């Protein structure tokens, strides 16, 4: 089975950046309903900076994750900048310095990233955040790899689970982030961060399938 090298990871970041740009207005509209209408602009600015940084190509996955995380922390701002930044920063040490990652190591790195998001943001599943898309996605990824599926198939399953988790945020009353200030009025709106997180997982599936 093909391993995940820096070329594939760069493709992931480029596909995610393009997808964020494409969905920028949608992310902003979702954030306008329950936040401050900047999630599309925040993520687009951050991912453009990440793509610009790929010109000076990091040597290995750990360096690429670290550079990506630092760029996101610096350039995104808001709640999502430190959280997405932490996701990538925590992936770096989980690679063990390998030049390319086998599927289990890639999944382990993603899991470490999610644990970093949870440690930093203190959101549990069901509180209407990006965690609601990422958690079922990584559970599906582990399950699919555990049952012997290829990484490409496992990431497709993860992407479907992320989409479901994203859709599941709509009825939830937000308990974390800006949307929580609205209390009950946050129900009935899809969470912007869960929406961008589903794009991140979909981008991984695309990058690995290519
Ligand atoms: P801000 O709310 O500061 O304007 P963004 O609009 O860029 O930041 O991002 C908002 C998204 O961040 C939310 O939709 C939610 O998914 C995510 N988020 C906010 N707080 C948390 C948290 N504590 N844990 C996880 N995700 C969070
Ligand atoms: Mg916002
Ligand atoms: Mg903001």
Report pLDDT for 132.
98
Residue ranges for the chain with pLDDT beneath 50: none
Domains of the chain in sequence order = 4-209 (1.25.40.340)
Report pLDDT for 58.
78
| Residue bearing tokens 């899991």 | 111
DSSP bridge partners of 4 = 101
The closest residue, in CA terms, to atom 3 on ligand 1 is 78
Start-to-end CA distance of the chain, whole Å, equals 14
d(CA 119, CA 117): 6
Distance 40 CA to ligand 3 centre (A): 10
Report pLDDT for 57.
74
Distance 15 CA to ligand 2 centre (A): 22
Spatial contact of 159 and 205, defined as CB atoms under 8 Å apart: yes
The closest residue, in CA terms, to atom 27 on ligand 1 is 129
Mean pLDDT for all residues in the chain: 96
């Amino acid at each position: 089975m093909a391993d995940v090298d820096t070329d594939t990871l760069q493709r992931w970041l480029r596909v995610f950046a393009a997808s964020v740009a494409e969905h920028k207005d949608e992310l902003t509209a979702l954030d306008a309903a329950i936040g401050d209408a900047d999630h599309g602009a925040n993520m687009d600015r951050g991912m453009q900076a990440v793509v610009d940084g790929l010109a000076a190509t990091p040597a290995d996955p750990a360096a690429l994750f670290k550079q990506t995380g630092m760029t996101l922390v610096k350039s995104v701002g808001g709640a999502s900048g430190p959280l997405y930044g932490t996701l990538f920063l925590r992936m770096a040490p989980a690679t063990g310095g390998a030049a390319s990652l086998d599927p289990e190591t890639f999944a382990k790195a993603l899991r470490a990233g999610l644990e970093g998001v949870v440690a930093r943001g203190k959101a549990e599943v069901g509180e209407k955040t990006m965690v609601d898309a990422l958690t079922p996605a990584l559970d599906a990824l582990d399950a699919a790899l555990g049952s012997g599926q290829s990484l490409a198939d496992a990431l497709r399953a993860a992407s479907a689970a992320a989409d479901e988790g994203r859709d599941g945020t709509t009825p939830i009353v937000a308990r974390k982030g800006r949307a929580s200030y609205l209390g009950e009025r946050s129900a009935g709106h899809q969470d912007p961060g869960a929406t961008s997180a589903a794009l991140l997982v979909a981008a991984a599936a695309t990058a690995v399938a290519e």
